[in-house]
């Protein structure tokens, strides 16, 4: 009965279990949208694709790092050079960059200040100092005879703070400096010439453009200078960038900015170099007042040609070659300045030697004239001092001397005091007419007399003083 009763219960339990399993059974899953990883987890197809892409990019970056490490320093150098070369490009600049300098007010100030200061500097250099210029006609021809619209660029060494306008004014005739529009534009650092509104107004009135140290060759100040060249003006620049560190003994290498002014101008400018020496004596470092009575030498060189650089690089499609153009132009200008420096140093050395010889000659002439003005007749030796006949002692001495010794004496130049008569000298006259004992006695008597005069003077000075004391 148990077995019979148990069978229906067990069957019923199995049926209930089947019904429960059928009710809670999960439907079949579409395996096309699932991706099972190695660890048994499941992800969607989109997640799998993004993970695969991220893994690929990670492997690519890791491979690039390994390749750059294997190439070493050469790859880094090439990367740096290519990145730096891309910084150079031809920057077009119009004729009107900053309208302040071209306003009516500043033009009126320039028409008044530039001729006044220029002529004052001309008088100072040529009147209170000595200036010797070699090749000034080269600058005059480039300034006055160049075609209309042709820019002019002058370059020079920088020795003293007043190189411009002193040297520039000494190179030009006063009539040219009366026309302010024809004169030069120059550049000055903002931390020196444009520190306050008063200085800024003054320097802008004398045609000075501001540049900022360290801002590179594409800064606004360089663009303003380039715009003056594009309008056919005259710009003067110091390629060294600052004053000489050794007082003008050497010229520092030229900076790349001057190369940009040459190569980026709309029309290739006429470039005139000149080198000067002597300004370090007129305006020494640390002095604010210029000195007078100094000598300045200026040598103007021939115009520098850049036509070959323009022809070789006529196809300006690659920006990388622009920096090379700047460097070539800068190097050519610096080399020309170095050659002129050698020439001006040679001229200065020659003139220094001539001045020394002239000074010695003048001293000899002054001594000879003083010798003639002495009243030798009062000493009783005038006839002997200016006699052209040799003395008896000299004749005997010449007869006794060998011929070789006479030739040696003739090769020695006579002293200035013997310029009147080479055969008569004061010692010979004293040997002939003066007894040594009498000469010693004359000297002793003079000493005794001087002592007596001193004692009498002292006595006369003391006695009145003692009398005054006794009276008091």
Q: How high is the mean pLDDT of the chain?
A: 75
Over the stretch 266-325, which tens digit does the pLDDT of each residue have? Answer: 999 999 999 999 999 999 888 889 999 999 999 999 999 998 887 766 655 455 578 899
Q: Please, which residues bridge with residue 388 across strands?
A: none
The candidate with the shortest Cα–Cα distance to 338, out of 280, 275, 277, 261, is 275
Helix (H) or strand (E) holding 209: strand 208-211
The more confidently predicted of residues 385 and 365 is: 365
**Amino acid 78: pLDDT:** 43
Task: Give the strands of the sheet with 130-134, arranged side by side.
Answer: 130-134, 295-300, 270-277, 152-156, 234-237, 185-189, 208-211
**CA gap 86, 215 in Å, rounded:** 17
Residue-by-residue DSSP string for 64-83: HHHHHHHHTHHHHHHHHHHH
**CA gap 144, 133 in Å, rounded:** 18
Compute CA distances 425 → 1, 241, 413, whole Å: 181, 64, 15
**Cβ atoms of 237 and 261 closer than 8 Å:** yes
Residues contacting residue 96 through CB under 8 Å, at least 6 positions apart: 102, 227
Band (pLDDT 50/70/90 cuts) for residue 227 is very high
Q: How many alpha carbons fall within 13 Å on the CB side of residue 35?
A: 11
pLDDT greater than 90 at residue 460 = no
**CA gap 180, 467 in Å, rounded:** 81
Band (pLDDT 50/70/90 cuts) for residue 447 is low
Predicted model pTM: 0.60
**CA gap 229, 270 in Å, rounded:** 10
- Lookup: tokens for 36: 């099972």
- Lookup: tokens for 458: 């002292």
Identify the DSSP state of 335. Answer: H
Over the stretch 398-439, which tens digit does the pLDDT of each residue have? Answer: 555 555 454 444 444 444 443 434 344 444 545 555 555 565
Residues contacting residue 109 through CB under 8 Å, at least 6 positions apart: 201, 204, 205
Band (pLDDT 50/70/90 cuts) for residue 370 is low
């Amino acid at each position: 009965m148990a077995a019979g009763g148990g069978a229906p219960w067990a069957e019923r339990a199995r049926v209930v279990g089947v019904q429960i399993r059928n009710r809670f059974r999960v439907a079949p899953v579409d395996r096309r949208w699932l991706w099972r990883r190695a660890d048994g987890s499941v992800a969607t197809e989109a997640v799998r694709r993004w993970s695969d892409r991220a893994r690929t990019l990670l492997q690519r970056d890791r491979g690039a790092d390994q390749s750059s490490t294997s190439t070493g320093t050469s790859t880094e150098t090439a990367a740096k050079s290519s990145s730096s070369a891309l910084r150079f490009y031809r920057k077009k600049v119009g004729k009107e960059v900053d309208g302040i300098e071209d306003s009516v007010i500043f033009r009126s100030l320039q028409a008044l200040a530039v001729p006044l200061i220029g002529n004052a500097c001309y008088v100072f250099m040529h009147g209170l100092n000595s200036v010797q210029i070699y090749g000034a006609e080269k600058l005059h021809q480039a300034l006055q005879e160049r075609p209309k619209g042709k820019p002019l660029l002058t370059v020079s060494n920088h020795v003293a703070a007043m190189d411009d306008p002193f040297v520039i004014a000494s190179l030009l005739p006063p009539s040219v400096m009366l026309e302010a529009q024809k004169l030069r534009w120059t550049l000055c650092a903002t931390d020196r010439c444009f520190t306050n509104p008063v200085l800024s107004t003054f320097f802008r009135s004398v045609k000075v453009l501001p540049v900022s140290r360290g801002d590179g060759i594409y800064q606004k100040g360089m663009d303003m200078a380039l715009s003056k060249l594009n309008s056919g003006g005259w710009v003067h620049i110091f390629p060294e960038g600052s004053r000489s560190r050794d007082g003008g003994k050497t010229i520092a290498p030229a900076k790349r900015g001057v190369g940009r002014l040459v190569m980026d101008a709309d029309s290739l400018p006429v470039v005139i170099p000149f080198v000067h020496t002597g300004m370090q004596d007129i305006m020494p470092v640390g002095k604010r007042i210029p000195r007078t009575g100094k000598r300045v030498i200026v040598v103007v060189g021939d115009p520098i040609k850049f036509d070959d650089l323009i022809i070789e690089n006529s196809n300006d499609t690659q920006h990388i070659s622009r920096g090379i153009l700047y460097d070539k132009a800068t190097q050519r200008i610096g080399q020309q300045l170095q050659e002129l420096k050698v020439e001006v140093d040679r001229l200065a050395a020659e003139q220094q030697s001539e001045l020394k010889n002239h000074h010695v000659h003048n001293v000899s002439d002054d001594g000879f004239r003083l010798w003639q003005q002495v009243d030798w007749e009062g000493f009783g030796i005038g006839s002997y001092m200016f006699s052209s006949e040799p003395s008896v002692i000299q004749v005997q001495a010449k007869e006794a001397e060998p011929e070789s010794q006479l030739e040696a004496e003739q090769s020695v130049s006579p002293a200035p005091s013997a310029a009147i008569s080479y055969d008569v000298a004061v010692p010979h006259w004293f040997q002939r007419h003066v007894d040594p004992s009498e000469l010693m006695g004359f000297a002793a008597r003079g000493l005794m007399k001087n002592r007596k005069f001193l004692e009498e003077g002292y006595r006369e000075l003391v006695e009145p003083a003692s009398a005054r004391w006794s009276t008091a």
